[in-house]
Amino acid sequence: MSRKQLAVLILSIVPTVLWGQSPGSASQFDGNSWWAHVKFLADDSLEGRDTGSEGLRKAQAYAVEQFQKAGLEPAGANGFYQPVSFTQLEVNEPKSSLALVGGGKTTKLSFADDAFISSRSTRESIKLNAPLVFIGYGLKIPEKNLDELAGLDLKGRVVVYISGSPADIPTALASHYQTVGERWKALKSAGAIGIVSILNPAAMDVPWTRIALNRNHPSMDLADPQFFETEGLKIAVLYNPASAEALFAGSAHTFSEIATLAKDRKPLPGFPLSVSLVVNAAIEKKNVESANLVAKLPGSDSALKNEYVVLSAHLDHVGIGAPVNGDRIYNGAMDNAAGSAVVMDVAAQLKAHPEKLKRSVLFLLVTGEEKGLLGSKYFAGRPTVPLQSIVADINIDMFLPIVPLKIMKILGLDESDLGTRAAEVTQSFGVKPIADPEPLRNAFVRSDQYSFIHQGVPSVAMDVGFELGSPEQKVFKDWLTYRYHAPSDDVNQPVDLQSAALYEDIVRKLLIETADAAARPEWKPDSFFARYAMK
């Protein structure tokens, strides 16, 4: 810890001491129990907790033990477990190829350097040759009268888009329409058969070299056809922006011109490209079994105990992958042993200091988050308690206590009463609540809360935040560049135990207040997401 951070920490402790009588500010956590859980879950022996792996099963056995110690009741389909079946999809690269054809010549693409086949969305082996059409950000957002597909012939075409959204589209709305399911609905009805997604250089967390390094890691989807969202999507390709100029050869535009506009979130043109894409994708499938964990703390109010507040986190991570500096185990300490540890720690604390909560609480540790929010999608689609009885989801994913907690970023802050309450509780601990300052990162739909939102359940996710332009911003930027989804997200990295403990205090108080409130949380009437609660 630097001297400056120490000074900040001391300053932030002063109000607690002065206002020690205020019930919200006495800390219930010390950071050590949290860290002990993280150390267990992120140990090399758990091999990065990949969905369906022995390592994740060990992590689950440990979590069940913690839930039992905390006196929780099993609330899965099989004890604490809710079994989930997956289809694993893998591209056989030696038998596959991608090429661009145009101006009478064929240019073979390098999977490592140019573009690779996304196994998540390419579910069957396929050979095709299709014309390409550039569609800007590829968004159709009726609420904002945006239709980037309008006037373009997409029938039998593969569309090319750059990730991101125009600046005048509110974050939540933009995030929602960038989910694969929503995106595909519009593209499918326009007749498209495939997608080429160019990463937006202005919003890349992870450098291309590291993304491409793990491209052959198998992907998964839920085996249950109820959850299949991309019917008719034949090929999905992820494109390196550094190689994207080739896609625009012979058109009236260049990629550098597009990227410059996209950087400032300006509107983009749409037009047919002069090259077509030749695909030979060899896909291999197999079944994988895993499970969510569900534990219940029964409420004490005779009526409200039949309602549930969910505290969720994903226990899975990405497992063993390509070596970085000789290390192949992607330990996932912050992503998301850290969040799982909060769930276990809060459960234990509520046993040590019972609060007689009115509503029941579900402690939920999901699988398959790294495969595309799949475990939570399954739980929210097939909950082990009636869906209507779930009043809220408080989700924790990679909350990053790597600097002192002075600012709390609340995803969903402006969307519901739960967001408002999260901000109030945060403030009661002397921490400043803020909405997502980096909408381009799409965080609102990038973790498990989105599975609940989609089923109409008010949700929030909170992360340690920073002021734009502050030194802390660089700490986070570096963390994302060097540790996010890398073997170095392990227990040898610096963390701030006080920051983690304060975070736990805030989560605990939000959970208690939500469980005890007279009324269940509601979406704000003008929130885009209110629609799911009404369907």
What is the C-alpha radius of gyration for the chain, rounded to an integer number of angstroms?
23
Least Cβ distance, residue 518 to Zn ion (angstroms): 37
Classified as helix, coil or strand, 73 is strand
Residue identified by tokens 């040759």 is: 129
Both tokens of 442, joined, read 């799409």
Only one of the segments 46-54, 60-68, 330-338, 518-526 lies at the binding site for Zn ion (rule: CB under 5 A); that segment is: 330-338
Q: Is residue 246 within a helix (H) or strand (E), and if so which, with residue range?
A: none
Least Cβ distance, residue 366 to Zn ion (angstroms): 12
Least Cβ distance, residue 336 to Zn ion (angstroms): 7
Burial of 521 (0-12, 13-18, 19+ CB in 10 A): buried
Only one of the segments 51-59, 199-207, 247-255, 327-335 lies at the binding site for Zn ion (rule: CB under 5 A); that segment is: 327-335
Indicate the residue type of 36.
A
Only one of the segments 104-112, 304-312, 332-340, 460-468 lies at the binding site for Zn ion (rule: CB under 5 A); that segment is: 332-340
Least Cβ distance, residue 329 to Zn ion (angstroms): 15
Q: Is residue 132 within a helix (H) or strand (E), and if so which, with residue range?
A: strand 126-134
Name the residue nearer to Zn ion (CB basis): 96 or 447: 447
Least Cβ distance, residue 398 to Zn ion (angstroms): 6
Contact at 8 Å (CB) between 307 and 386?
Answer: no
Both tokens of 56, joined, read 């994740």
Only one of the segments 67-75, 329-337, 421-429, 430-438 lies at the binding site for Zn ion (rule: CB under 5 A); that segment is: 329-337
Helix ranges (H only) for 457-526 are: 471-482, 497-516
Please give the Cα distance from 330 to 19 (Å, whole number): 42
Please give the Cα distance from 50 to 69 (Å, whole number): 25
For residue 381, what are the contacts with CB-CB under 8 A and spacing of at least 6? 226, 227, 451, 455
The β-bridge partners of 91 are 283
Phi, psi of 165 (to 5 degrees): -160, 155
The β-bridge partners of 365 are 293, 313
Least Cβ distance, residue 330 to Zn ion (angstroms): 9
Site for Zn ion in 428-457 (CB under 5 A): none
Only one of the segments 127-135, 211-219, 331-339, 385-393 lies at the binding site for Zn ion (rule: CB under 5 A); that segment is: 331-339
Name the residue nearer to Zn ion (CB basis): 335 or 436: 335
The site map against Zn ion for 38-67 (x = CB under 5 A) is ------------------------------
Indicate the residue type of 212.
A
Name the residue nearer to Zn ion (CB basis): 221 or 335: 335
Phi, psi of 372 (to 5 degrees): 120, 45
The β-bridge partners of 272 are 133
Name the residue nearer to Zn ion (CB basis): 340 or 416: 340
Name the residue nearer to Zn ion (CB basis): 42 or 278: 42
Only one of the segments 127-135, 293-301, 323-331, 333-341 lies at the binding site for Zn ion (rule: CB under 5 A); that segment is: 333-341
Name the residue nearer to Zn ion (CB basis): 123 or 483: 483
Least Cβ distance, residue 340 to Zn ion (angstroms): 12
Name the residue nearer to Zn ion (CB basis): 148 or 316: 316
Name the residue nearer to Zn ion (CB basis): 24 or 48: 48
Q: Is residue 425 within a helix (H) or strand (E), and if so which, with residue range?
A: helix 417-428
Least Cβ distance, residue 485 to Zn ion (angstroms): 6
Name the residue nearer to Zn ion (CB basis): 335 or 505: 335
- With CB under 5 A as the rule, give the number of residues binding Zn ion: 1
Least Cβ distance, residue 341 to Zn ion (angstroms): 15
For residue 341, what are the contacts with CB-CB under 8 A and spacing of at least 6? 34, 35, 37, 38, 41
Least Cβ distance, residue 480 to Zn ion (angstroms): 11
Q: State yes or no: residue 335 binds Zn ion (CB under 5 A).
A: yes
Name the residue nearer to Zn ion (CB basis): 43 or 335: 335
At residue 142's C-alpha, the angle toward residues 140 and 147, to 5°, is 35
Q: Is residue 281 within a helix (H) or strand (E), and if so which, with residue range?
A: strand 271-281
- Which position's Cβ is nearest Zn ion? 335
Judged by the rule CB under 5 A, the positions of this chain that interact with Zn ion are: 335
